[in-house]
Structure 1
């Protein structure tokens, strides 16, 4: 909170003041400020009235801002608030209100703030306020240095990291489960095909049926990141708050994949996680030791172990015969050694690995104790 509020525009330019007026955020701090600064009560009340009037007009969802209508509503509210007499209703001659007129004409009386909020400035407070219209939410804030575990009524578990907060209903709706996150958390969602689970984190929405994944979405960060450990999730972004937003142009994420939303550019993209590891839930019992097996067959096993699509020329690599052993190592370690043996290279494209090699026509042996 700033303390150099000398005029109304100082308050209107302060996001924390706007959030206090609209969402009652940090109420105790602002009440304390008013007690300690009684001389500021007048400008606080007038700034508050302007914000409430702006908000009431913004709710009407006008395509264009009718400045005359806005000013009429604000002036009426101020007159009613002060109970002024006819002789005193010459407020347009006062410097304060002349400034307000200029503010309306130049900035649409804060219209830019609310327009940005509705078209891309989606944050935790706004999301919670939207949901609270229908439900009473429980909020958990992790102020400790260690992780906090939150258990939901459906059996889902959420591990909340330091400095993070989560809002959720005590009872989920009949057709969906929905929570709001600010910060970082690991989700282990109980499977329920009839009731999908939604996580709203700034502009990013993550939809799952039952799986485990991590989301990092701090308010001040320029990126929102969703990483999948098990199962499958659908990730999409929204430019304005819409709790019924369909999965338009959603990205489907599988284990070892992540979605990164760049908030300044509003770009959502899919990548592999930094260090892909063997799946915690293997689709089947896979072999780890290979005695004179073709490279393409070994790569097929690696693909299944990590759940990552590997693209390569099967015909060429079928001539590369390898003896080796696979270990629970990062994918990069596995591919570095394989490509070193076959004289190949690899690169990531759209959360897939492309392996290039000219092939070989001789037996290639990697000792069984090699870290592959």
Structure 2
């Protein structure tokens, strides 16, 4: 066998067992990668040999002989043009007249056709799943779709008591009543979730290519259809991001995120970047909303001030009897509660004669005063 420094033909590489092993399994015991990078011309020849090797291993296809002949002729014309520019016309004609070359060329064309079909019909759907595709393929009927076309966040209350702060230019599809053993919602855009605890019925947010699973916690998801990244940022509790069902060759079934941790999914490359300290990430820091910054731990705080905090966090308006509640102070923790639960706790703490109503972003507190 020739010394590889003397390789000048594709056939030289294809006949080398260590080269074939490197291409197939990435086992590089002979230092092929380092050797290849030493010379640009050598690297180009190695790449061509790699393509031929991959083409020879493509399985049979249902492409007709007529289609194959036409594709071969078209491919050959392109190859011939390139090789003419390299002043190798004579050698190419000799190769074309050999049965071996025709066979490999045929396999190469089939491989290109298969690769194109796969990327068009499978990879495109898998790598760039979006809200419309996901919702249109659902068997679930009776979904409610909420679209925020306004210029400020909208608060949604789900049937299980969970609350969702839906940002402008975002939409959420969810069932009127959660049935079965799961709670599933579908997001396009950005939203902050506060999930009502129910260990027996986990909550799933489907957003582009990822699925976020929770039992009871608060977190934000940013998943716009036209953006290259999907982000999950956890405020309280624990979140599990499921990758295995949607990402091919994933090494992890799920990625666990704790408070002040985040996950960034790059849609094009199908890669995950876990961020263990969100304060060190400039992109996330610049997008933090009021609801993620404000504290809901109150110690002997006037009720009016608590309502102001809620208004600021949820972009809502709260109408309450100021005179009746002006002397009311509360000590309570509302950090890990959906908005409806926060309001229930406040009303119960004020007195049994207190209640609230909620219509969109307008909240009305009914009370005759605190205990």
Q: TM-score range by the shorter chain?
A: 0.3 to 0.5
Which structure carries more relative contact order (alpha carbon 8 Å, separation 6+)? Answer: 2
Larger radius of gyration: 2
